[in-house]
Structure 1
């Protein structure tokens, strides 16, 4: 977590977490030319769950902080409001653009309609939308990932680590994006050991019902899967995933995190010995890349699809207990090479 230098009260369009001032309004680009960067900095709007989810939003925050530090620019990050409407999202994105932030980034596919509407009003501002590739505009970067590839590696690790030949997948919301995580995980499990049983559960049908923001729902789902016999649980559930990891750790079975390296998250330190690894999605890297391009005067636009080959998708191996499991590590490394080399194509639907 960063230290807020300017806190604003909550409003209909969410609350502002922090802001920094820029002490360097110009940057030289690497082509030898010069780009005058005179925006206020990065404008970041969080997805459901907000900052502190130890996963998706925090990954975006890490890239936001690194970009501000490296490029000596300002920034403001805004939280979603409880039970907010689509109009609230439009208001938040428009507020950031009006105030002079550039780029303005919506963290999550839920911002697609807002980005599409506001980008047309501010053609000189660069917008980014994470996890959506439907916003087609000259000043918008669609920052999307091959989540199924990292999930495949999670499936390989789970299939090699299970002692019960029984693993589980817990998705936050029953939507196409999370189906990609399920598809990759199940394929990774079955390609490694067809005998392994896979439990599958989604916490809610709609995002507004708390599938990505309710640790208690994750805990209950994990408890049920463990009771059914699963001894490795993989979640793609945002903040709800904290409940999955906590329950797995309490029951002394393996959990696999998502998006961020959850073994390193302070809020989960009590349970880290039971975090086998995490399927990484470098949302922070995408935020950083886009900001860098704007600062250098050459904004990235259009679809940017990150995969294993680019290094923006992967599997975290920071738990010493994982690295000590040589057969698991070898299997995951082989699977990664096979995907990058084109020998394995990972499904995007279950």
Structure 2
């Protein structure tokens, strides 16, 4: 083994039109319900709205993690009024603005945007609704009192993914596939590469991004994910890590077809894989968006709303690696846990740029 509100009436009308155009204004997360539920300290019933990123619910990764947080809010905080809204294909920032306004106009006093693409829309909308608690996942916004940023040390979890890939690679040849080449996804790449090189300094690493900004379809194109992974496996890689949202489902398909290993992202992708896929899921770089969503809503319910920038890292348990596939991970878990502790202790500083 290697070591190595325009007026609010107008806004409401526009938002309502948007809702009619959307494929999933009310979802099975709960839609709209009447009465009951958790109240904040002002005695106002909590209504929680969540807007998904590209790929939407069902990506088995980033958005699904946020959805699990919303489910936990319903179950543990007894919040009966929730809404989760899907993105539309090829939408502009104005669509995201109207989606946020829609929820604020309808009385949702907690509104969460999932993904950095909501940053500029939320900066415009939040000041119009000062009594609404907004939160954004994956973007740092400062200077607006009613916006809380929920951000993660993705590079730390990715470091452990890279180390795992290097430890399990028989060819000293691995791969990384990013959905869209943005600063956020480059953090995943940076950590992955650093972790792999910690184990095997001269390891060969295939790297690819499915699309370049402003084309965000790289997060929702499983077919492209699969063909890109096929290319990397054909080039000699035997373990591939993706940070590509729903496109990662194609990467996993490729791993199965090529009888190679796959590393998931954000959610434990072993848990949501089909039975024939599970053996190929080495591990996943976990990013507890569900925990961040739940804890933010809980803080509002308790009258002490989180504010500013909330960071989630290895030390706080906000990111980690999964151990569900015991058969594959058992022989390297001790080494990964040692590296994890070194990062927590500051002995290893993980880069955020490749």
Q: TM-score, normalised by structure 1?
A: 0.92
DSSP 3-state at the match of 1:262:
coil
Q: For 1:135 and 1:91, how far apart are their aligned partners in 2?
A: 22
- How far residue 196 of structure 1 moved from its aligned partner, in angstroms, is 1.3
**Match of residue 152, structure 2, among 131, 145, 167:** 145
Q: For 1:79 and 1:211, how far apart are their aligned partners in 2?
A: 17
DSSP 3-state at the match of 2:84:
strand
1:156-183 per-position Cα deviation (integer Å, ceiling 9, x unaligned): 1001000000000000001100000000
Q: For 1:156 and 1:110, how far apart are their aligned partners in 2?
A: 30
2:279 alignment counterpart: 273
In structure 2, the CA distance between the partners of 1:193 and 1:199, relative to structure 1 (3 Å rule), is same
Stretch of structure 1 that moved more, 200-209 or 254-263: 200-209
- How far residue 269 of structure 1 moved from its aligned partner, in angstroms, is 3.8
Contact 1:89–1:111 (CA under 8 A) maintained in structure 2: yes
Query: Which ranges in structure 2 are unaligned for 5 or more consecutive residues?
Result: 1-16
1:24-76 per-position Cα deviation (integer Å, ceiling 9, x unaligned): 34558xxxxx552423x210000000000000000000001111111111200
- How far residue 320 of structure 1 moved from its aligned partner, in angstroms, is 2.0
**Match of residue 250, structure 1, among 249, 253, 257:** 257
Q: For 1:9 and 1:305, how far apart are their aligned partners in 2?
A: 33
1:4 alignment counterpart: none
Contact 1:148–1:346 (CA under 8 A) maintained in structure 2: yes
Are 1:334 and 2:331 matched, yes or no? no
Query: Which ranges in structure 1 are unaligned for 5 or more consecutive residues?
Result: 1-7, 29-33
1:42 alignment counterpart: 48
- How far residue 136 of structure 1 moved from its aligned partner, in angstroms, is 3.2
- How far residue 207 of structure 1 moved from its aligned partner, in angstroms, is 5.4
Are 1:315 and 2:324 matched, yes or no? no
Are 1:181 and 2:193 matched, yes or no? no
Query: What's the RMSD between the two structures over aligned residues?
Result: 1.7
DSSP 3-state at the match of 1:338:
helix
Q: For 1:198 and 1:78, how far apart are their aligned partners in 2?
A: 37
**Match of residue 24, structure 2, among 15, 33, 37:** 15
DSSP 3-state at the match of 2:136:
strand
2:353 alignment counterpart: 349
In structure 2, the CA distance between the partners of 1:261 and 1:131, relative to structure 1 (3 Å rule), is same
Contact 1:37–1:296 (CA under 8 A) maintained in structure 2: no
Are 1:229 and 2:233 matched, yes or no? no
In structure 2, the CA distance between the partners of 1:147 and 1:114, relative to structure 1 (3 Å rule), is same
Contact 1:167–1:232 (CA under 8 A) maintained in structure 2: yes
Q: For 1:233 and 1:260, how far apart are their aligned partners in 2?
A: 16
Aligned residues: 334
1:208-241 per-position Cα deviation (integer Å, ceiling 9, x unaligned): 3510000001001100000000000000000000
1:248-267 per-position Cα deviation (integer Å, ceiling 9, x unaligned): 1121111000000000015x
Q: TM-score, normalised by structure 2?
A: 0.90
Contact 2:37–2:77 (CA under 8 A) maintained in structure 1: no
DSSP 3-state at the match of 2:215:
helix
**Match of residue 194, structure 1, among 197, 201, 208:** 201
1:72 alignment counterpart: 78
Contact 2:38–2:78 (CA under 8 A) maintained in structure 1: no
Q: For 1:288 and 1:138, how far apart are their aligned partners in 2?
A: 20
- How far residue 15 of structure 1 moved from its aligned partner, in angstroms, is 2.7
2:130 alignment counterpart: 123
Contact 2:179–2:243 (CA under 8 A) maintained in structure 1: yes
Q: For 2:20 and 2:142, how far apart are their aligned partners in 1?
A: 27
Contact 1:37–1:295 (CA under 8 A) maintained in structure 2: no
In structure 2, the CA distance between the partners of 1:20 and 1:99, relative to structure 1 (3 Å rule), is closer
